[in-house]
Structure 1
Amino acid sequence: MSDRPVKRVEDYTRPFLVTGFFALFTLLFLIWAAWGYHRALALGAALWLVLRLRAR
């Protein structure tokens, strides 16, 4: 066992959310490029609804 004092863990929530945003943006952009704007818009709307319903 080590005798080092226990410290607070750094909060990585914001970097995780920023990385997730860029990954989602890239995914929607690739869908838009491959299959068109309407499918990317529909997927974005569906994800928004799922997140909105789970937040309740």
Structure 2
Amino acid sequence: MRDRPVTPVENFTRPFLVTGFLALFTLLVLVWALWGYGWALAVGAGLAGLVGLCRR
């Protein structure tokens, strides 16, 4: 094996968060289109509650 200098890995946090936001937004628009605003609001509130539980 060659001895190569170790370089830091790129930070992909921001692209990951943007992609996650777009996926969540698409999911909520799909739920809204299929079942209405109330269900989309309920799914969003439920996901926010799950994120709150995971952050503890």
For Structure 1 versus Structure 2, the TM-score category normalised by the shorter chain is over 0.9
Q: Which amino acid aligns with 1:14?
A: R
Unaligned runs of 5+ in 2: none
Q: Distance in 2 between matches of 1:39 and 1:2?
A: 57
TM-score normalised by structure 2 residue count: 0.94
Compute the TM-score of the two structures, normalised by the length of structure 1. Answer: 0.94
Mapping of residues 12-23 of structure 1, within 5 Å: 12-23=12-23
Large movers: runs of 4+ above 6 Å = none
1:3 deviates by 2.2
Look up the match of 1:40: 40
Identity, in percent, stands at 64
The whole-number CA distance in structure 2 between the counterparts of 1:4 and 1:26 is 43
Q: Deviations over 1:2-55 (max 9, x none)?
A: 222110000101100000000100010011011101111000000000101110
Q: Does 1:54 align with 2:54?
A: yes
For 2:29 and 2:11, how far apart are their aligned partners in 1?
A: 29
